[in-house]
Amino acid sequence: MSIPTLGVHLIVYNEEKWLGACLERIHTLADELIIVDTGSTDRSVEIAEKYGATVIHSPWEHDFAKARNAGLVHANTDWILVLDADEQVMAGQEEIKEFLSQEEGSQCLIELVNWTGSGPEECIHYFAPRVFRNREGYRYEGMIHEQLVQADQGSLGEIGLNMEHGMKRCSTKIKTATPPSICPLKVNHYGYLPAVMESKQTAIRNLKIIQQALLINPDDAFHLYNLGVTYCQLEDREQARITFLRALNSCPVNAPYRSTLVQDLGKLLYANHELEQARNLLLTEIRRYRDYPDLHTLLGLVEQEYGMAEQAYGYFEKAVKSGLSSKNQAVPYVTEDGADSYIPLTHMADIDKRKGRASYAENHYRSAIKAHQGYLPAISGLADLLQKEGIADSSIKQILVEIIDRENPEHLHKAAYSLMLCGAYEAALSILPVQSIGIEDESWARACLIQTQRKPQAIQRSQLLLERNKGINQELNDQPVSPCEHEQIELALMDWAICSWSCAEALPQVFYQHSNEDSFFYSEIERRMLNIRQQSEIEYLPQPDSGTLLQKAEKLAGRAAACGQKDLPLFMKKAGLLLPSTAGDLLYKHGFRLEAAEQYLGQLAKGDLHLEGMFQLAEYMYDRANYSESLALFEQAITLSKDHNRARIGAAASCLQLAREAAVRMLNTQTAKTSESTFSTLAQDIAELTGSLQRLDDLNWKTSWDSQARRRGV
């Protein structure tokens, strides 16, 4: 059997940044390379000709199908592969010719992986008809999201995608008499990375073309859907919602892109916290798309928000099962990476952990990590579970290192970060490759040093970062730093100050060479705390004219509490740098609940305890089984705000606990022990009260504490 020829076709416009990488991966397999240039003013044409391409110059007419078809008429090969300049073939180059020599159909699917972020899980997968036979009537239709069609057979494919606030979007439409084959090619697409979309102004371009297309056919559901996608790209959620609903109302039930429209609308409703609308939509549509894992996972998230933990668990389980049944098949859906594996598995593990099903939780975390070794929520969830179960830090470290890819520095960093999150600071430092610590790791690496009493080392790392940043700025002629760099500089300064003050040391002059406009605030904070040390019996009140100073002090105290330095916020409160309520809130947030409760009780005695402080003090009393006190405090919180739902649930839980205690006391009386009917009735009452309390717990009304907080006495 003869080996067929394959031509690769692209349309380009100012793609010099991407074109070379694209062509480098396919020029050896292409018997013919045809590039339609729509008016590039950069080096795109030069790069194309370097790889031996035939360049067709075609003026841009705001019509992608016309540009595609301008190249197809010049094709001389047996088969055609269509790519975009910002796509790269990652696998299948060696196998494609042999595959096509045995292919009996006229068109094939390729697997596309659309990257929407830099993380290994920030991508979506789908199959699209990109390989087809030449001279069999194939052409493209549609001004935008052009569709592959064949004479007298209708549409074969249409593609469109978007990413907005972490919501991945894509639609694929395939309409053929028999399922097309899957060819070996796997292609990465980078055009929907946020930075690329911003540089190309993709959303604005698409909006103009779609609006023009809708002038011709205002009720076209596919164009309406893609208009909603574009509104999401432009961060206009309300218009996106309205447009998605219009599209759904006019979309034929059997339209292959309809499932993705449902997914996108459901994600938008969930992101907008329109839970009832999201639930109604998903419960209706999941009957039609029973094997769509993304819908099951999304419905599980919605049910979790409603406090229906076991129902959510069931939907996550269905998502995993639907993924298992579709392995090695071309699924008819656009699916987020991990929606059928590590994402629902991790949610199942979280529920198992909360319900006390430790062995199930561990198995599900391990399965999630096996599916994606770098998935941080699963790694950190497992570390937290093991700490909660009383496993030694050294053993947690050993377990994590054994189940990740130890040769992958990124995975090793995630394991170290997870150990830090569960309070295993020594273990985290022992596996973190110090020589390769990036700026994004510096702040939590210093936090580990501070909490293991290596404060001089933390100061040294802060100073090195600040000096390195100062040198870089001077090389760049003092250009403005990025928000990320500014945050890291601010944290380095705070850590330096926290370490010095917690050791009763003054900040050195070299510190102020780096603090710039914040020098006054650090100097003033230090001066006030020095006064307190010299006059230990005095407690100052915050001055009414020191708003900015108090904001700086609050941020500094929050970082100190996060690093386990509970005494510094209390000392700053005494110096008049923190309000008592603020000191209590910061301590409570980071797990120092006893110290926070003392602050709240002092305010309660004065009659000025704020709402959140009232709730948190009530929660503290509840967790210590002081249910009468917690009930009284929850009721006071409700008096302060009738809409405080967590306080309402807390009050109900306190009442149920009091009733359960009373029933248990009665069960232990002589009367109950001598009367079988009384004993049976009380036992049933206790079981029902316990079940009601468990259902209230599913509402997640209480503060969720991580391992660090648990170690601090939560």
Q: With contact defined as beta carbons under 8 Å apart, do 538 and 529 qualify?
A: no
Cα 91–chain centre separation = 28
* 562 falls within a domain: yes
Answer yes or no: do 162 and 218 share one domain.
no
Predicted confidence band of residue 433 (pLDDT cuts 50, 70, 90): low
Q: Flag whether 401 is in a domain.
A: no
DSSP string, 17-33: HHHHHHHHHHTTT-SEE
479 confidence band (pLDDT: 50, 70, 90): low
On whether both 184 and 222 belong to a single domain, the answer is no
Domain co-membership, 31 together with 140: yes
Q: Tell me: do 81 and 191 sit in the same domain.
A: yes
* DSSP designation for 121: T
Shared domain check, 693 and 668? yes
In single-letter form, the type of residue at position 386 comes to L
pLDDT of residue 201 exceeding 80: yes
- Is 486 part of a structural domain of the chain? yes
- Would you state the pLDDT for residue 689? 96
Question: How many domains, in total, are found in the chain?
Answer: 4
20 with 71, same domain? yes
Q: Tell whether the model's pLDDT for residue 174 goes beyond 50.
A: no
Q: Is residue 43 part of a domain?
A: yes
The CATH code of the domain that includes 127 is 3.90.550
pLDDT at residue 157, rounded to an integer: 46
pLDDT surpasses 90 at 326: no
User: Do 508 and 473 fall within a single domain?
Assistant: yes
Q: Which two tokens stand for residue 453?
A: 């009493």
Same domain, yes or no: 111 and 223 = no
Q: Using CB atoms within 10 Å of the CB of residue 252, give its burial: 0 to 12 exposed, 13 to 18 middle, 19+ buried.
A: exposed
143 belongs to a structural domain = yes
pTM score, two decimals?
0.87
- How crowded is residue 283: how many other Cβ atoms within 10 Å of its Cβ? 13
Token pair in block for residue 48:
């194309």
Residue 57 lies in a domain: yes
Domain end (from 216, 239, 268): 268
Is the same domain home to 208 and 113?
A: no
Same-domain check for residues 155 and 77: yes
Q: What is the mean pLDDT of the chain?
A: 90
Mean pLDDT within 201-218: 92
Rounded mean pLDDT of 257-282? 96
Domain CATH code at residue 234: 1.25.40.10
Query: What DSSP character marks residue 120?
Result: T
pLDDT digits (tens, 9 = 90+) for 367-410: 999 999 999 999 999 999 999 999 999 999 999 999 998 888 88
- In terms of Cα–Cα distance, which of 704, 640, 602, 707 is closest to 382? 707
Residue 314 lies in a domain: no
Residue range(s) defining the domain that contains residue 618? 608-714
* Lowest-confidence pick of 272-276, 411-415, 467-471: 467-471
- pLDDT 10s digits, 651-684: 999 999 999 999 999 988 887 778 888 889 999 9
Of the candidates 332, 294, 330, 296, the residue with the CA atom closest to the CA atom of residue 314: 296
Amino acid found at 399: I
Examine residue 429 and state whether it is found in any structural domain, yes or no. no
Residue 153 and residue 11 share a domain: yes
User: Does the structure show a pLDDT above 70 at 163?
Assistant: no
Per DSSP bridges, beta strands 107-115 and 54-57 are unpaired
